[in-house]
Amino acid sequence: MRIINLIENTQGHTRCACEHGLCFYVETIRHKLLVDTGASDLLMQNAQRLGVDLTKVDTVFLSHGHSDHGGGILPFSKINPDARIYMQASADGAFYSFSTGTERFIGLSEETLQLPQINFLRDESGFKRIDDELSVFWNIKDACPSPGSNAFLKIKKPGETGAFVQDDFRHEQCLVIRQGGRHILFSGCAHHGILNILERFREIYGTDPDAVISGFHMMQKSGYSDADIEQIISTALALKKTDTVFYTGHCTGVQPYEAMRKILGDQIRYIHCGDEVILPEAGRRTGTILPFRPAGAPASRTSAEPSPEPDQAANRSAVSDEKAASESAAAAMKPASPAKHKKGSTRMKYHKFFAWATVVCFVMTMITGYQKK
């Protein structure tokens, strides 16, 4: 199986451009598929740069009805009108974000929703087996808290009032790929919360997935409250108890990832645009990310070696003691200390004082020289 990221918020492969969105190209024994499509036609540009032929894709899976995951469907359909597209029937909602303080439409375009190749899933059982490799599930319960950043995401009700209500994310679904006796779980943003998604997986399959590829929607634009930090740490501690390797990015956020990395170590990895996911060998909980390589080219590192990542915390092992790990993770979420800020501010004040003193001396010299003349 090959898993290549085509769209993510941050650049990995130097030839790939990035945008706020998510898209994976996946090759299995029977399929070539896309998991989400990013926010625009950028997936096609990156695919071309990486040598990925999107005209060969036979299946598209949409994790939920937000434009940063489904915005590329329409341009993709113009070069590949035959690929089957799977999304929830409720993914046609009028979705809005208030993360910037004003309403912003983040739903799918009407033209996208009218595409004839879309398969709208609405089975009350919350499960569909597409074939021996692919299955989809939804109807995820909220036993554990969902991400706090969900509070900014609303649905506009139809009718004259046009009132906004909280998005319950019934349009969210997860893809499971089964190959070689392993189960790989894909979830776009885990709006229901990754712990709730894992619980739903266990209900269906009776075990943990071997790998999870998903954003965790923990990123906050206005800083992290104590409740946010507590939820991030408790989530990481719960994930550490599983036998699963986690590959994350997009909406997880750099600070939450670094905090979770303190607890999970190599059990979690960050995916950048253009990276290739190397799945762990059976029985291992160490994930690897490699720069994309053309089909048939040898990997530059083995699965046991660390992947190149921008943050220093990514190359540190997890702290084994739970209390110490939690404290280390909490420290990673803290902003810069006030003492350093105060010291920097004092230094700046001195710089300003000497600058103004220089100006005053220059003016006085000019005045004195003029009077002498």
Query: Coil, strand, or helix at residue 127?
Result: strand
CA 4 – CA 48 distance, rounded (Å): 13
CA 175 – CA 131 distance, rounded (Å): 12
Domain that holds residue 157: 2-333
Of 19, 16, 29, nearest to 58 by C-alpha is 29
Q: Token pair for residue 310?
A: 């921008």
Q: Are residues 351 and 313 in the same domain?
A: no
Q: Are residues 354 and 317 in the same domain?
A: no
Q: Are residues 165 and 222 in the same domain?
A: yes
Strand 211-214 vs strand 182-187: parallel, antiparallel, or unpaired?
A: parallel
Q: Are residues 328 and 366 in the same domain?
A: no
Q: Are residues 62 and 146 in the same domain?
A: yes
CATH code for the domain of 42: 3.60.15.10
Of 64, 1, 12, nearest to 271 by C-alpha is 12
- Bridge partners (DSSP) of residue 34 are 25, 60
Q: Token pair for residue 274?
A: 């253009």
Of 19, 2, 5, nearest to 68 by C-alpha is 19
Q: Token pair for residue 339?
A: 């003492």
* Tokens 């706020």 -> residue: 20
Q: Are residues 137 and 257 in the same domain?
A: yes
N- to C-terminal Cα separation, the chain: 87
Query: What Cα–Cα distance (Å) separates residue 15 from each residue in 23, 183, 207, 232?
Result: 16, 31, 39, 33
Residue 140 confidence (pLDDT): 97
Q: Token pair for residue 197?
A: 């998604």
CA 240 – CA 201 distance, rounded (Å): 17
DSSP string computed for 356-372: HHHHHHHHHHHHHHHHH
- Please list the pLDDT of the chain residue by residue as tens digits (373 residues): 999 999 999 998 888 999 999 999 999 999 999 999 999 999 999 999 999 999 999 999 999 999 999 999 999 999 999 999 999 999 999 999 999 889 999 999 999 999 999 999 999 999 999 999 999 999 999 999 999 999 999 999 987 677 999 999 999 999 999 998 999 999 999 999 999 999 999 999 999 999 999 999 999 988 899 999 999 999 999 999 999 999 999 999 999 999 999 999 999 999 999 999 988 776 666 667 666 544 444 333 333 333 334 444 444 445 557 777 777 787 877 765 444 444 444 444 545 555 555 655 555 655 555 454 4
Query: How many folded domains does the chain comprise?
Result: 2
Residues 6+ apart with CB under 8 A from 295: 2, 51
Query: Coil, strand, or helix at residue 145?
Result: coil
Q: Are residues 124 and 250 in the same domain?
A: yes
Side chain identity at 110, as an amino acid letter? E
Q: Are residues 226 and 208 in the same domain?
A: yes
Q: Are residues 260 and 275 in the same domain?
A: yes
Q: Are residues 118 and 239 in the same domain?
A: yes
Q: Are residues 325 and 357 in the same domain?
A: no
Question: Alpha carbon 62 to chain centroid distance?
Answer: 14
Q: What is the pTM of this model?
A: 0.81
Q: Are residues 366 and 301 in the same domain?
A: no
